[in-house]
């Protein structure tokens, strides 16, 4: 090899290591866990030709493009939020001293107030959820806002499109936002036909390619619907047939959604508007006045979270729930891969005497996450944490029940992706009637669960246990 050849090779190699050093510089300024930072630094120094592009695609922990969009649209959104906080239905705002510290933290995290005068309907499965979604859209008279992580052009998807096309013909405005990664199988024809009917359609990524570059690891995992600003839905259910189990060889996914009527719907609408603004640079005129008279008596807070937040909102939400539980903490999550701080908090809660139960699925759409859950059994069992595997179908619900004081449901899982990478949303309800309905639902689910024990892990083969521990190392990426 000649000296000229070596010099030509040295130039790209030097540039590669300069890029690796630039990535390390960014890591040192922004890292949140030392383990993750050390892993990236070792990879960048040892295998820069693989690690540099991987870091650019998957290593970011802050969604910079969304942060800039939030700042650009902050004045209009702040004015709407101020109006929301000052409505007569707002019973606790961020900073109010009369509210309990625990719930006040949730207000500050959400940047929204708790509101009274709501009515919430628990929807315990896909059939009940789709029936309620279809009915609400049929009754809409002014506009329909949709935002879903996964949309399929199957029977449910075509039924949704048919309703939206019919409402558009009646003069109802439709804004449809979907995540381009979660909905990768959604047909272009489906989208084109909906757009041709008059709907405004945007994907979470396509509208801002320039600002989104090198940030494809961030996903919009929210699932919500708002009709006319007065009726809204939030929960874990996407738009797809799997929630109905219509295939001959498929059991329905076990999931939960919630219908909200009242001023809390404004919180859902604010979260939708911020996402729509990011995706399309458009802020449509919507209804912001609460319905009169209020439809119910329930107190509700909408808590959006995501990688553009100042704090790790989703992580702090779970830690607040765990650390303040006094008698009972029941959590249902299809993806249970907690980091050390969440696991330590769960152990401390159990050691305080709190009845800690974690419901996870026996059957999963992610084999790696299913295996990783076994590695937590020893820690959980020794502290008195009950981990229950739901047996029939795939349990996909995300529900938290704290004592008899509040229940939360929405889209957030107990994994790194929800804690740090995804845009999520939860609805928190303090009304005894709703809490009782959630309690009964989880009790029914527990009857169809198998309590796992330490022996489920210890009695397995050494290769299996090593595999569980190895997969757990991938927890930040799962």
Domain boundaries, the chain: 3-58, 64-104+118-298, 313-477
The pair of structure tokens assigned to 111 is: 């940047």
Q: What is the mean pLDDT of residues 221-241?
A: 95
Q: Which of 155-159, 387-391, 464-468, 473-477 has the lowest mean pLDDT?
A: 473-477
- Under the banding of pLDDT at 50, 70 and 90, the label for residue 29 is confident
Q: Which of 69-73, 137-141, 250-254, 310-314 has the lowest mean pLDDT?
A: 69-73
Supply the pLDDT for residue 9. 66
- Percent with pLDDT over 90 in the chain: 50
Question: Among all residues, which ones are annotated catalytic?
Answer: 221, 223, 228, 396, 398, 403
| Mean pLDDT, rounded, of the chain | 85
- Under the banding of pLDDT at 50, 70 and 90, the label for residue 213 is very low
- 57 has a pLDDT exceeding 50: yes
Supply the pLDDT for residue 210. 46
CATH class of 64-104+118-298: alpha beta
Which of 73 and 444 is assigned the larger pLDDT? 444
- Under the banding of pLDDT at 50, 70 and 90, the label for residue 20 is confident
Supply the pLDDT for residue 309. 85
pLDDT digits (tens, 9 = 90+) for 373-423: 888 888 888 999 999 999 988 999 999 999 999 999 999 999 988 998 899
Supply the pLDDT for residue 5. 57
Q: Which of 35-49, 181-195, 445-459 has the lowest mean pLDDT?
A: 35-49
Which of 158 and 339 is assigned the larger pLDDT? 158
CATH number, domain 313-477: 3.30.870.10
Supply the pLDDT for residue 63. 59
- 214 has a pLDDT exceeding 50: no
Q: Which of 37-46, 121-130, 149-158 has the lowest mean pLDDT?
A: 37-46
Q: What is the mean pLDDT of residues 276-281?
A: 85
| Three-state secondary structure string covering the chain | CCHHHHHHHHHHHHHHHHHHHHHHHHHHHHCCCHHHHHHHHHHHHHCHHHHHHHHHHHCCCCCHHHHHHHHHCHHHHHHHHHHHHCCCCEEECCCCCCCCHHHHHHHHHHCCCEEEEEEEEEECCHHHHHHHHHHHHHHCCCEEEEEECCECCCHHHHHHHHHHHHHHHCCCEEEEEECCCCCCCCCHHHHHHHHHCCCEEEECCHHHHHHHCCCCCCEECCCEEEECCCEEEEECCCECHHHCCCCCCCCCCECCEEEEECCCHHHHHHHHHHHHHHHHCCCCCCCCCCCCCCCCCEEEEEEEECCCCCCCHHHHHHHHHHHHCCCEEEEECCCECCCHHHHHHHHHHHHCCCEEEEEEECCCCCHHHHHHHHHHHHHHHHHCCEEEEECCCCECCCEEEECCCEEEEECCCECHHHHHHEEEEEEEECCHHHHHHHHHHHHHHHCCEEECCCHHHHCCCHHHHHHHHHHHHCHHHC
pLDDT digits (tens, 9 = 90+) for 126-167: 999 999 999 999 999 999 999 999 999 999 999 999 999 999
């Amino acid at each position: 090899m000649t000296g000229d050849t070596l010099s030509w090779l040295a130039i790209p190699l030097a540039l590669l290591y300069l890029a690796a050093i630039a990535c390390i510089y960014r890591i040192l300024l922004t890292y949140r866990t030392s383990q993750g930072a050390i892993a990236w630094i070792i990879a960048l120094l040892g295998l820069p030709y693989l690690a540099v592009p991987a870091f650019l695609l998957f290593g970011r922990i802050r969604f910079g493009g969304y942060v800039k969009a939030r700042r650009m649209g902050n004045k209009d959104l702040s004015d709407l939020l101020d109006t929301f906080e000052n409505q007569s239905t707002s019973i606790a705002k961020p900073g109010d001293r009369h509210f309990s510290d625990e719930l006040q933290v949730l207000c500050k995290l959400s940047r929204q107030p708790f509101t009274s005068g709501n009515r919430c309907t628990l929807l315990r499965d896909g059939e009940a959820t789709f029936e309620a979604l279809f009915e609400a859209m049929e009754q809409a008279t002014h506009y329909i806002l949709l935002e879903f992580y996964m949309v399929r052009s199957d029977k449910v998807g075509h039924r949704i499109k048919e309703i939206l096309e019919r409402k558009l013909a009646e003069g109802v405005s439709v804004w449809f936002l979907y995540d381009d990664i979660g909905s990768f199988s959604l047909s272009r024809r489906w989208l084109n036909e909906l757009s041709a009917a008059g709907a405004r359609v945007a994907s979470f990524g396509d509208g801002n390619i320039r600002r989104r570059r090198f940030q494809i690891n961030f996903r919009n995992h929210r699932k919500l619907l708002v009709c006319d600003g007065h009726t809204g839905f939030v929960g874990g259910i996407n738009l797809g047939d799997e929630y109905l189990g219509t295939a001959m060889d498929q059991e329905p996914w076990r999931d939960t959604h919630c219908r909200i009527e009242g001023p809390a719907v404004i919180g859902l609408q604010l979260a939708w508007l911020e996402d729509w603004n990011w995706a399309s640079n458009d802020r449509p005129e919507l209804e912001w006045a609460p319905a009169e008279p209020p439809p119910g008596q329930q107190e509700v807070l909408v808590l959006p979270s995501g990688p553009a937040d100042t704090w790790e909102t989703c992580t702090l939400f779970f830690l607040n729930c765990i650390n303040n539980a006094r008698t009972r903490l029941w959590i249902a999550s299809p993806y249970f891969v907690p980091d050390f701080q969440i696991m330590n908090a769960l152990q401390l809660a159990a050691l305080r005497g709190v009845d800690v139960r974690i419901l996870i699925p026996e059957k999963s759409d992610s084999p790696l996450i299913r295996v990783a859950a076994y590695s937590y059994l020893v820690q959980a069992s020794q502290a008195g944490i009950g981990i229950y595997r739901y047996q029939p179908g795939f349990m996909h619900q995300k529900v938290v029940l704290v004592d008899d004081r509040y229940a939360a449901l929405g889209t957030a899982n107990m994994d790194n992706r929800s804690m740090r990478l995804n845009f999520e949303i939860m609805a928190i309800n303090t009304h005894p009637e709703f809490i009782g309905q959630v309690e009964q639902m989880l009790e029914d689910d527990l009857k169809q669960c198998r309590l796992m024990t330490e022996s489920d892990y210890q009695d397995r083969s050494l290769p299996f246990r090593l595999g569980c521990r190895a997969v757990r190392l991938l927890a930040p990426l799962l």
